[in-house]
Amino acid sequence: MINSKPILFSAIQPSGNLSIGNYIGTMRHWSSFQDNYECLYCIADLHSLTTLNKNFSLQNSVLDTLALYLACGVNPKKSIIFIQSHVYQHSQLNWILSCFSQFGELSRMTQFKNKRKIQDNYVENINIGLLNYPVLMSSDILLYQTNLVPVGQDQKQHLELTRNIANRFNLLYGDIFTLPKPLITKTGSKIMSLLDPTKKMSKSDTNKNNVIFLLEDISSVFLKIKNAVTDSEMPPKIYYDLRRKSGISNLLEILSAITNKKISILEKEFEGIMYSEFKKIIFDNISKFLHKLQKSYLVYRKDESYLKKVAKEGAIRARLKSEKILKRVSTAIGIN
Ligand code: TYM
Protein backbone atom coordinates (compact mmCIF):
# COMPACT_ATOMS: atom_id res chain seq x y z
CA MET A 1 0.00 0.00 0.00
CA ILE A 2 1.38 3.41 -0.93
CA ASN A 3 1.31 5.88 1.91
CA SER A 4 0.59 9.30 0.50
CA LYS A 5 0.65 11.24 3.75
CA PRO A 6 3.63 13.58 4.18
CA ILE A 7 6.18 12.37 6.70
CA LEU A 8 6.72 14.39 9.86
CA PHE A 9 9.62 13.88 12.27
CA SER A 10 10.26 15.50 15.62
CA ALA A 11 12.47 14.81 18.62
CA ILE A 12 13.44 16.12 22.02
CA GLN A 13 16.59 15.53 24.03
CA PRO A 14 15.78 13.79 27.33
CA SER A 15 18.45 15.77 29.10
CA GLY A 16 16.43 16.93 32.09
CA ASN A 17 13.03 18.15 32.97
CA LEU A 18 11.23 19.39 29.84
CA SER A 19 10.10 23.00 29.90
CA ILE A 20 6.90 24.75 28.91
CA GLY A 21 9.03 26.15 26.04
CA ASN A 22 9.53 22.62 24.67
CA TYR A 23 5.81 22.01 24.96
CA ILE A 24 4.73 25.26 23.31
CA GLY A 25 7.43 25.22 20.62
CA THR A 26 6.69 21.67 19.48
CA MET A 27 4.83 19.10 21.58
CA ARG A 28 1.51 20.94 21.80
CA HIS A 29 0.93 20.29 18.09
CA TRP A 30 2.05 16.69 18.00
CA SER A 31 -1.30 15.12 18.76
CA SER A 32 -3.16 16.99 16.00
CA PHE A 33 -0.45 16.24 13.41
CA GLN A 34 -1.26 12.54 13.69
CA ASP A 35 -4.35 12.75 11.51
CA ASN A 36 -2.68 14.51 8.60
CA TYR A 37 0.86 13.17 8.59
CA GLU A 38 2.76 9.97 9.05
CA CYS A 39 4.43 10.94 12.33
CA LEU A 40 7.65 9.79 13.95
CA TYR A 41 8.37 11.06 17.46
CA CYS A 42 11.83 10.27 18.69
CA ILE A 43 13.54 10.58 22.07
CA ALA A 44 17.02 11.80 21.19
CA ASP A 45 19.02 10.08 23.93
CA LEU A 46 22.23 9.97 21.87
CA HIS A 47 22.09 13.75 21.67
CA SER A 48 21.88 13.86 25.47
CA LEU A 49 25.26 12.14 25.72
CA THR A 50 26.84 15.43 24.63
CA THR A 51 26.05 16.92 28.03
CA LEU A 52 26.06 13.78 30.16
CA ASN A 53 26.31 14.22 33.89
CA LYS A 54 27.32 11.24 36.02
CA ASN A 55 24.67 11.98 38.64
CA PHE A 56 21.88 12.12 36.13
CA SER A 57 19.87 9.00 35.24
CA LEU A 58 19.43 9.11 31.49
CA GLN A 59 17.45 5.89 31.63
CA ASN A 60 14.83 7.43 33.94
CA SER A 61 14.74 10.62 31.95
CA VAL A 62 14.06 8.68 28.74
CA LEU A 63 11.05 7.02 30.39
CA ASP A 64 9.86 10.36 31.83
CA THR A 65 10.04 11.85 28.35
CA LEU A 66 8.21 8.94 26.79
CA ALA A 67 5.41 9.22 29.38
CA LEU A 68 5.20 12.94 28.62
CA TYR A 69 4.89 12.26 24.87
CA LEU A 70 1.93 9.99 25.63
CA ALA A 71 0.42 12.49 28.06
CA CYS A 72 0.56 15.11 25.29
CA GLY A 73 -1.65 12.89 23.16
CA VAL A 74 0.88 11.03 21.03
CA ASN A 75 -0.80 7.74 20.21
CA PRO A 76 1.41 4.70 19.50
CA LYS A 77 -1.34 3.28 17.29
CA LYS A 78 -1.11 6.32 15.03
CA SER A 79 2.55 7.34 15.31
CA ILE A 80 5.94 5.73 15.64
CA ILE A 81 7.40 6.60 19.04
CA PHE A 82 10.94 5.41 19.58
CA ILE A 83 14.24 5.92 21.36
CA GLN A 84 17.06 7.06 19.09
CA SER A 85 19.72 4.70 20.49
CA HIS A 86 17.45 1.69 19.84
CA VAL A 87 17.70 2.28 16.10
CA TYR A 88 21.37 1.82 15.19
CA GLN A 89 20.76 3.22 11.69
CA HIS A 90 20.92 6.72 13.21
CA SER A 91 24.55 6.33 14.31
CA GLN A 92 25.49 4.59 11.07
CA LEU A 93 24.09 7.41 8.92
CA ASN A 94 25.61 9.91 11.33
CA TRP A 95 29.10 8.66 10.49
CA ILE A 96 28.40 8.65 6.77
CA LEU A 97 26.99 12.18 6.81
CA SER A 98 29.89 13.41 8.96
CA CYS A 99 32.00 12.68 5.92
CA PHE A 100 29.79 15.03 3.91
CA SER A 101 29.85 17.82 6.50
CA GLN A 102 32.41 20.54 6.91
CA PHE A 103 34.23 21.64 10.04
CA GLY A 104 33.66 25.29 9.08
CA GLU A 105 29.88 25.03 8.78
CA LEU A 106 29.56 23.00 11.99
CA SER A 107 31.75 25.34 14.01
CA ARG A 108 29.63 28.29 12.84
CA MET A 109 26.40 26.85 14.34
CA THR A 110 25.09 29.30 16.94
CA GLN A 111 24.27 26.57 19.47
CA PHE A 112 27.79 25.12 19.21
CA LYS A 113 29.37 28.56 19.55
CA ASN A 114 27.29 29.26 22.68
CA LYS A 115 28.21 25.93 24.25
CA ARG A 116 31.86 26.50 23.45
CA LYS A 117 31.98 29.97 24.89
CA ILE A 118 32.85 30.43 28.52
CA GLN A 119 32.72 34.11 29.35
CA ASP A 120 34.58 35.68 26.44
CA ASN A 121 36.77 32.70 25.63
CA TYR A 122 36.29 29.82 23.23
CA VAL A 123 37.36 26.62 24.96
CA GLU A 124 39.36 24.00 23.06
CA ASN A 125 38.57 20.92 25.14
CA ILE A 126 34.91 20.80 24.14
CA ASN A 127 33.66 17.31 23.24
CA ILE A 128 33.36 16.50 19.55
CA GLY A 129 29.81 15.26 20.10
CA LEU A 130 28.74 18.90 20.46
CA LEU A 131 30.30 19.75 17.11
CA ASN A 132 28.79 16.67 15.50
CA TYR A 133 25.39 17.20 17.16
CA PRO A 134 23.62 18.76 14.13
CA VAL A 135 24.92 15.99 11.83
CA LEU A 136 23.25 13.41 14.07
CA MET A 137 20.13 15.55 13.96
CA SER A 138 20.35 15.59 10.14
CA SER A 139 20.65 11.80 10.18
CA ASP A 140 17.53 11.50 12.35
CA ILE A 141 15.57 13.54 9.85
CA LEU A 142 16.98 12.24 6.57
CA LEU A 143 16.65 8.55 7.52
CA TYR A 144 12.88 8.70 7.12
CA GLN A 145 12.56 10.83 3.95
CA THR A 146 10.99 13.43 6.21
CA ASN A 147 8.98 16.24 4.64
CA LEU A 148 8.28 18.33 7.74
CA VAL A 149 10.09 18.94 11.00
CA PRO A 150 8.18 20.85 13.67
CA VAL A 151 10.72 22.71 15.82
CA GLY A 152 11.20 25.90 17.78
CA GLN A 153 13.10 28.81 16.27
CA ASP A 154 16.42 27.77 17.86
CA GLN A 155 16.58 24.68 15.62
CA LYS A 156 16.00 26.54 12.33
CA GLN A 157 19.72 26.79 11.62
CA HIS A 158 20.14 23.04 12.13
CA LEU A 159 17.36 22.42 9.61
CA GLU A 160 19.12 24.63 7.07
CA LEU A 161 22.28 22.63 7.63
CA THR A 162 20.32 19.39 7.15
CA ARG A 163 19.11 20.63 3.78
CA ASN A 164 22.66 21.62 2.80
CA ILE A 165 24.07 18.21 3.71
CA ALA A 166 21.24 16.43 1.88
CA ASN A 167 21.75 18.61 -1.19
CA ARG A 168 25.47 18.00 -1.18
CA PHE A 169 24.90 14.25 -1.03
CA ASN A 170 22.18 14.30 -3.70
CA LEU A 171 24.35 16.29 -6.08
CA LEU A 172 26.95 13.54 -5.97
CA TYR A 173 24.75 10.44 -5.82
CA GLY A 174 21.35 11.37 -7.28
CA ASP A 175 18.12 12.14 -5.53
CA ILE A 176 18.53 9.95 -2.48
CA PHE A 177 17.33 12.24 0.29
CA THR A 178 14.09 14.20 0.52
CA LEU A 179 14.73 17.82 1.48
CA PRO A 180 12.88 18.51 4.75
CA LYS A 181 11.18 21.76 5.65
CA PRO A 182 10.99 23.22 9.15
CA LEU A 183 7.54 23.79 10.59
CA ILE A 184 7.83 26.79 12.89
CA THR A 185 4.72 28.47 14.25
CA LYS A 186 4.35 32.23 14.20
CA THR A 187 3.70 32.51 17.92
CA GLY A 188 5.25 30.33 20.59
CA SER A 189 8.30 29.25 18.61
CA LYS A 190 10.61 31.06 21.02
CA ILE A 191 9.39 31.22 24.60
CA MET A 192 11.67 33.46 26.60
CA SER A 193 13.17 33.18 30.03
CA LEU A 194 10.98 34.61 32.84
CA LEU A 195 13.60 36.80 34.49
CA ASP A 196 15.39 37.79 31.29
CA PRO A 197 12.87 37.86 28.44
CA THR A 198 15.61 38.74 25.95
CA LYS A 199 16.97 35.19 26.10
CA LYS A 200 15.38 31.84 25.29
CA MET A 201 13.80 29.76 28.07
CA SER A 202 16.04 26.74 28.31
CA LYS A 203 15.55 23.52 30.29
CA SER A 204 19.26 23.55 31.13
CA ASP A 205 19.25 27.10 32.57
CA THR A 206 21.16 27.14 35.86
CA ASN A 207 18.66 29.60 37.32
CA LYS A 208 15.49 27.50 37.68
CA ASN A 209 13.42 30.64 38.25
CA ASN A 210 13.78 31.39 34.55
CA VAL A 211 11.96 28.24 33.54
CA ILE A 212 8.57 26.59 34.02
CA PHE A 213 9.09 22.83 33.97
CA LEU A 214 6.33 20.52 32.81
CA LEU A 215 6.77 18.24 35.81
CA GLU A 216 7.44 20.77 38.51
CA ASP A 217 5.39 21.22 41.63
CA ILE A 218 2.59 23.62 40.66
CA SER A 219 2.96 25.61 43.88
CA SER A 220 6.47 26.70 42.85
CA VAL A 221 5.13 28.13 39.57
CA PHE A 222 3.19 30.82 41.43
CA LEU A 223 6.33 32.62 42.64
CA LYS A 224 8.04 32.23 39.28
CA ILE A 225 5.16 33.97 37.51
CA LYS A 226 4.88 36.57 40.27
CA ASN A 227 8.57 37.44 39.81
CA ALA A 228 8.54 37.32 36.01
CA VAL A 229 9.96 40.52 34.54
CA THR A 230 7.42 42.95 33.05
CA ASP A 231 8.02 46.69 32.46
CA SER A 232 7.39 50.07 34.02
CA GLU A 233 4.93 51.58 31.51
CA MET A 234 2.53 53.95 33.25
CA PRO A 235 -0.34 53.31 33.39
CA PRO A 236 0.43 49.61 32.88
CA LYS A 237 -0.91 48.25 29.59
CA ILE A 238 -1.08 44.72 28.32
CA TYR A 239 -0.30 44.38 24.63
CA TYR A 240 2.09 42.51 22.38
CA ASP A 241 5.27 44.38 21.45
CA LEU A 242 8.38 42.22 21.47
CA ARG A 243 10.79 45.13 21.39
CA ARG A 244 9.31 47.42 24.02
CA LYS A 245 7.43 44.93 26.17
CA SER A 246 9.34 41.65 25.92
CA GLY A 247 8.20 40.34 29.33
CA ILE A 248 4.48 41.00 28.81
CA SER A 249 4.70 39.72 25.21
CA ASN A 250 6.29 36.49 26.43
CA LEU A 251 3.56 35.96 29.02
CA LEU A 252 0.93 36.65 26.34
CA GLU A 253 2.55 34.04 24.06
CA ILE A 254 2.51 31.45 26.85
CA LEU A 255 -1.12 32.19 27.69
CA SER A 256 -2.17 32.19 24.04
CA ALA A 257 -0.54 28.78 23.49
CA ILE A 258 -2.11 27.05 26.47
CA THR A 259 -5.57 28.55 26.09
CA ASN A 260 -5.66 28.43 22.28
CA LYS A 261 -6.81 32.06 22.21
CA LYS A 262 -5.35 34.57 19.77
CA ILE A 263 -3.11 37.23 21.26
CA SER A 264 -5.34 39.98 19.82
CA ILE A 265 -8.32 38.51 21.73
CA LEU A 266 -6.28 38.32 24.96
CA GLU A 267 -5.16 41.94 24.56
CA LYS A 268 -8.84 42.99 24.45
CA GLU A 269 -9.72 40.82 27.46
CA PHE A 270 -6.95 42.41 29.54
CA GLU A 271 -7.62 46.04 28.70
CA GLY A 272 -7.28 48.17 31.82
CA ILE A 273 -6.19 45.46 34.25
CA MET A 274 -3.13 45.58 36.50
CA TYR A 275 -0.05 43.44 35.88
CA SER A 276 -0.61 41.62 39.19
CA GLU A 277 -4.11 40.58 38.11
CA PHE A 278 -2.81 39.58 34.67
CA LYS A 279 -0.18 37.39 36.33
CA LYS A 280 -2.79 35.76 38.53
CA ILE A 281 -4.79 34.80 35.43
CA ILE A 282 -1.62 33.46 33.79
CA PHE A 283 -0.88 31.37 36.88
CA ASP A 284 -4.46 30.02 37.05
CA ASN A 285 -4.27 28.90 33.44
CA ILE A 286 -0.79 27.42 33.71
CA SER A 287 -1.71 25.53 36.87
CA LYS A 288 -4.85 24.14 35.21
CA PHE A 289 -2.78 23.07 32.21
CA LEU A 290 0.03 21.53 34.29
CA HIS A 291 -2.39 19.75 36.58
CA LYS A 292 -4.10 17.99 33.65
CA LEU A 293 -0.81 17.12 31.96
CA GLN A 294 0.84 15.83 35.14
CA LYS A 295 -2.19 13.71 36.04
CA SER A 296 -2.06 11.95 32.69
CA TYR A 297 1.75 11.72 32.83
CA LEU A 298 1.64 9.93 36.20
CA VAL A 299 -0.71 7.27 34.89
CA TYR A 300 1.70 6.45 32.04
CA ARG A 301 4.86 6.83 34.11
CA LYS A 302 3.71 4.27 36.69
CA ASP A 303 3.43 1.57 34.05
CA GLU A 304 7.04 0.98 33.02
CA SER A 305 6.30 -2.28 31.25
CA TYR A 306 3.82 -0.48 28.99
CA LEU A 307 6.34 2.29 28.29
CA LYS A 308 9.00 -0.28 27.39
CA LYS A 309 6.55 -2.10 25.12
CA VAL A 310 5.73 1.15 23.29
CA ALA A 311 9.46 1.87 22.87
CA LYS A 312 10.21 -1.66 21.68
CA GLU A 313 7.42 -1.69 19.10
CA GLY A 314 8.34 1.81 17.94
CA ALA A 315 11.97 0.78 17.46
CA ILE A 316 10.98 -2.22 15.33
CA ARG A 317 8.89 0.00 13.07
CA ALA A 318 11.55 2.72 12.91
CA ARG A 319 14.27 0.18 12.05
CA LEU A 320 12.24 -1.22 9.17
CA LYS A 321 11.75 2.23 7.71
CA SER A 322 15.24 3.58 8.26
CA GLU A 323 16.94 0.45 6.95
CA LYS A 324 15.50 1.11 3.48
CA ILE A 325 17.10 4.51 3.09
CA LEU A 326 20.32 3.40 4.78
CA LYS A 327 20.61 0.60 2.19
CA ARG A 328 20.16 3.08 -0.66
CA VAL A 329 22.81 5.35 0.85
CA SER A 330 25.21 2.46 1.45
CA THR A 331 24.76 1.16 -2.10
CA ALA A 332 25.31 4.64 -3.52
CA ILE A 333 28.62 5.10 -1.73
CA GLY A 334 29.72 1.49 -2.14
CA ILE A 335 29.77 0.11 1.39
CA ASN A 336 27.10 -2.55 1.25
P1 TYM B 1 15.65 20.33 22.47
O2 TYM B 1 15.52 19.08 23.25
O3 TYM B 1 16.59 21.38 22.91
O4 TYM B 1 14.24 21.01 22.32
C5 TYM B 1 13.13 20.27 21.84
C6 TYM B 1 12.23 21.16 21.02
O7 TYM B 1 11.76 22.24 21.82
C8 TYM B 1 12.00 23.46 21.14
N9 TYM B 1 12.27 24.50 22.15
C10 TYM B 1 11.59 25.62 22.26
N11 TYM B 1 10.56 26.12 21.55
C12 TYM B 1 10.08 27.33 21.93
N13 TYM B 1 10.59 28.06 22.95
C14 TYM B 1 11.62 27.61 23.69
N15 TYM B 1 12.09 28.31 24.69
C16 TYM B 1 12.17 26.33 23.36
N17 TYM B 1 13.18 25.58 23.86
C18 TYM B 1 13.22 24.46 23.11
C19 TYM B 1 13.22 23.20 20.28
O20 TYM B 1 13.29 24.09 19.19
C21 TYM B 1 12.97 21.78 19.82
O22 TYM B 1 12.13 21.76 18.69
N23 TYM B 1 18.29 18.92 18.61
C24 TYM B 1 16.99 18.91 19.14
C25 TYM B 1 16.43 17.52 19.30
C26 TYM B 1 16.47 16.73 18.04
C27 TYM B 1 15.66 16.94 16.91
C28 TYM B 1 16.07 15.94 15.96
C29 TYM B 1 14.63 17.83 16.61
C30 TYM B 1 17.30 15.70 17.79
N31 TYM B 1 17.05 15.22 16.53
C32 TYM B 1 15.46 15.88 14.72
C33 TYM B 1 14.02 17.73 15.36
C34 TYM B 1 14.45 16.77 14.44
C35 TYM B 1 17.04 19.56 20.50
O36 TYM B 1 18.02 19.60 21.15
O37 TYM B 1 15.91 19.99 20.94
Q: Is 109 annotated as a binding residue?
A: no
Pick from 143, 180, 94: nearest CA to 322:
143
Compute the Cα dihedral for 39, 52, 221, 118 and give only its sign: negative
Pick from 129, 43, 144, 127: nearest CA to 93:
144
Which phi and psi angles does 172 have, rounded to 5°?
-85, -35
Cα dihedral 156, 77, 303, 286 in deg (nearest 10): 50
Q: Hey, what amino acid is at 99?
A: C
Q: Report the separation in Å between the CA atom of 155 and the middle of ligand 1, taken as the mean of its atom positions.
A: 6
pLDDT of res. 119: 63
Q: Is 288 annotated as a binding residue?
A: no
pLDDT of res. 115: 87
pLDDT of res. 79: 98
- Closest ligand 1 atom number to CA of residue 141: 32
- Closest ligand 1 atom number to CA of residue 14: 2
- Closest ligand 1 atom number to CA of residue 200: 15
pTM of the model: 0.96
Q: Report the separation in Å between the CA atom of 271 and the middle of ligand 1, taken as the mean of its atom positions.
A: 34
- Closest ligand 1 atom number to CA of residue 15: 2
CA angle 179, 33, 326 (to 5 degrees): 40
Domains recognised in the chain with CATH numbers: 7-188+304-333 (3.40.50.620), 208-298 (1.10.240.10)
Q: Hey, what amino acid is at 67?
A: A
Cβ atoms 313, 76 nearer than 8 A: yes
Q: Report the separation in Å between the CA atom of 9 and the middle of ligand 1, taken as the mean of its atom positions.
A: 12
Q: Whose CA is nearest to atom 9 of ligand 1?
A: 22
Name residues contacting ligand 1 (CB within 6 A): 9-13, 21-22, 24-26, 44, 47, 137, 140-141, 149, 151-152, 154-155, 189-191, 200-201
pLDDT of res. 158: 98
Q: Is 321 annotated as a binding residue?
A: no
Q: Whose CA is nearest to atom 26 of ligand 1?
A: 11
pLDDT-flagged residues of the chain (< 50): none
Tell me the catalytic residues.
115, 200, 203
Mutate to test the pocket of ligand 1, among 9, 10, 22 (most ligand atoms within 8 A of CB): 22
Q: How far apart are CA 327 and CA 311, in angstroms?
A: 24
Q: Report the separation in Å between the CA atom of 234 and the middle of ligand 1, taken as the mean of its atom positions.
A: 37
Mutate to test the pocket of ligand 1, among 12, 160, 187 (most ligand atoms within 8 A of CB): 12
Q: Is 126 annotated as a binding residue?
A: no
Per DSSP, the three-state class of 160 is helix
Tell me, letter by letter, the H, E, C secondary structure of 78-102: CCEEEEHHHCCHHHHHHHHHHCCCC
Q: Is 5 annotated as a binding residue?
A: no
